[in-house]
A and B are shown apart, each in its own frame.
Chain A
Amino acid sequence: DTGVSQDPRHKITKRGQNVTFRCDPISEHNRLYWYRQTLGQGPEFLTYFQNEAQLEKSRLLSDRFSAERPKGSFSTLEIQRTEQGDSAMYLCASSLGFGGGAWREQFFGPGTRLTVL
């Protein structure tokens, strides 16, 4: 399977703990995105990378959140001092980034469901 993979698929943690999620994009994709989806809502953009460079961060990404893509391949999303409001599905997507205006499909992973008790 050469799709986007995420690990773990489910994470239950206690409030105040730190958690880290991993995303492995499709191998030739140089763009990687993180979205958060809460119950009853559509996905909301958090941050995205072009290779190892983080291009944009949403205002949703508080200072407790940090994302990295150290070698331009897989990415990690860390949440420090988790809060109950962090409970959500965290989705990763990847795409080819190319010349201005060229459309490239974003392929989504299965998500990591975080529950903060």
Chain B
Amino acid sequence: AQTVTQSQPEMSVQEAETVTLSCTYDTSESDYYLFWYKQPPSRQMILVIRQEAYKQQNATENRFSVNFQKAAKSFSLKISDSQLGDAAMYFCAYRSDDWTDSGNTPLVFGKGTRLSVIA
């Protein structure tokens, strides 16, 4: 079974600064997807960024980028120019890429990192 580990329960960052959230995972599969989800207080979870394991290039979405190290099974999220609205729980998630399946398989989540942004 796959597992996802987020070793930082809480992080804080000054507004406009950069912060990196860590995630490691364990799998014996070679094809999979990795995700970062954001869960603001009392609001629903939204997808921040995704990475396909077969892609060597790290994904980037505006101020969010990842550092994907497949051999090390590491998948960190960097948030640049942090804004007050970035304050939330951030979850790292894994999804198998099963070519025999007809679509999305369930996600496996880490325990999350609570990010605070200091004005």
Residues from chain B with a CB closer than 8 A to the CB of A56 are: 106
B43 touches A102 (CB 8 A): no
Given A45-B107, A106-B104: A101 touches B91 (CB 8 Å cut-off):
no
Interface magnitude class on chain A: 20 to 34
Residues from chain A with a CB closer than 8 A to the CB of B103 are: 30-31, 50, 95-99, 102, 104
A interface secondary structure, majority: loop
Given A42-B91, A44-B109, A45-B108: A99 touches B45 (CB 8 Å cut-off):
no
Residues from chain A with a CB closer than 8 A to the CB of B45 are: 43, 91, 108
Name the CB-closest residue of A to B103: A97
> How many Å from the CB of B108 to the closest CB on chain A?
7
Given A100-B101, A101-B97, A101-B99: A33 touches B106 (CB 8 Å cut-off):
yes
> How many Å from the CB of B89 to the closest CB on chain A?
9
| 8 A Cβ contacts from B69-119 to A | 91, 93, 97-104, 106-112
Which residues of chain B have a CB within 8 Å of any CB of chain A? 4, 6, 31, 33, 37, 43-47, 50, 52, 91, 93, 97-104, 106-112
Give me 23 A-to-B residue pairs in the complex whose CB atoms sit less than 8 angstroms apart, sorted by A's number.
Answer: A3-B44, A4-B44, A35-B106, A41-B111, A42-B4, A43-B91, A43-B109, A48-B106, A50-B102, A97-B103, A98-B102, A100-B98, A101-B31, A101-B97, A103-B50, A103-B52, A103-B104, A104-B104, A105-B50, A106-B47, A108-B45, A109-B44, A111-B44
